[in-house]
Structure 1
């Protein structure tokens, strides 16, 4: 499975520490429909684009990434984003990425709508034409 990373996890040393294994970066990529903002940590907010990398992980690695991103503490949520790339790069045509709560990260921007951060982000992804594209 692929994860779109755009912050500290783009660094091979940091990714190795988090995954406790050598990271497998498969391509540079861009998310269209969201852009990066920086607060205490980087996050995505609606509009624009953000460059990053595609990191191949095994399903059990998602627990390590969730813990690193503070999903259980409400700092980030993991969402599935449609993927445009060669066949075989992502199962079911999606990649995972992490989106932080701007207010919790002291970052500019917001996610409008009703519900939890995860529900608001997923609704925007589904209705806003958000997609991850390989760059090579």
Structure 2
């Protein structure tokens, strides 16, 4: 177990019963909006540049279980942190999926070169991607 971390969730993990089946302890902190990335649906949802995504802010200390659920070790999703607009200023984890592995029907273009994770991280660092909560 690691320290508690905030995670922006926008798919199956917005359901408390699903979260309870994945991690031992968690708390929903509240509703949140991810600015700078929009949701794209395939077999599983992922994120793409631009727009916004509504979801929930989850707090847990069991990031290993979330990583396993999201298939981080299998290359399905990458866990990346983004700034939050909360007063505490902490960063929030998001999971961004590989559209080719998730059956996403539309083309998603992450600018630049390098691996998908490298391009995603670079995009987030160079744009105003952030999480807004209603605290």
Calculate the TM-score normalised by the size of structure 1. Answer: 0.90
1:94 matched to which residue of 2? 91
2:114 matched to which residue of 1? 115
2:52 matched to which residue of 1? 49
1:32-71 equivalences under 5 Å are 32-58=35-61, 61-71=62-72
Secondary structure at the aligned position of 1:26 is classed as strand
| Structure 2, unpaired ranges of 5+ | none
Alpha-carbon deviation of 1:29? Answer: 0.4
After superposition, give the CA deviation of every residue in 1:21-50 in whole Å (9 maximum; x if it has no partner): 3x3000110010000010010010000000
Q: Say whether residues 1:2 and 2:6 are aligned partners.
A: yes
Alpha-carbon deviation of 1:115? Answer: 1.6
Deviates more, 1:2-11 or 1:114-123: 114-123
2:82 matched to which residue of 1? 81
1:39·1:105 contact (CA, 8 Å) conserved in 2?
yes
| Structure 1, unpaired ranges of 5+ | none
CA-based RMSD of the aligned residues comes to: 1.2
Query: What is the rounded CA distance, in whole Å, between the counterparts of 1:81 and 1:8 in structure 2?
Result: 20
Structure 1: which 4+ aligned runs deviate by more than 3 Å? none
Secondary structure at the aligned position of 2:30 is classed as strand
Secondary structure at the aligned position of 2:109 is classed as coil
Calculate the TM-score normalised by the size of structure 2. Answer: 0.90
Secondary structure at the aligned position of 1:84 is classed as coil
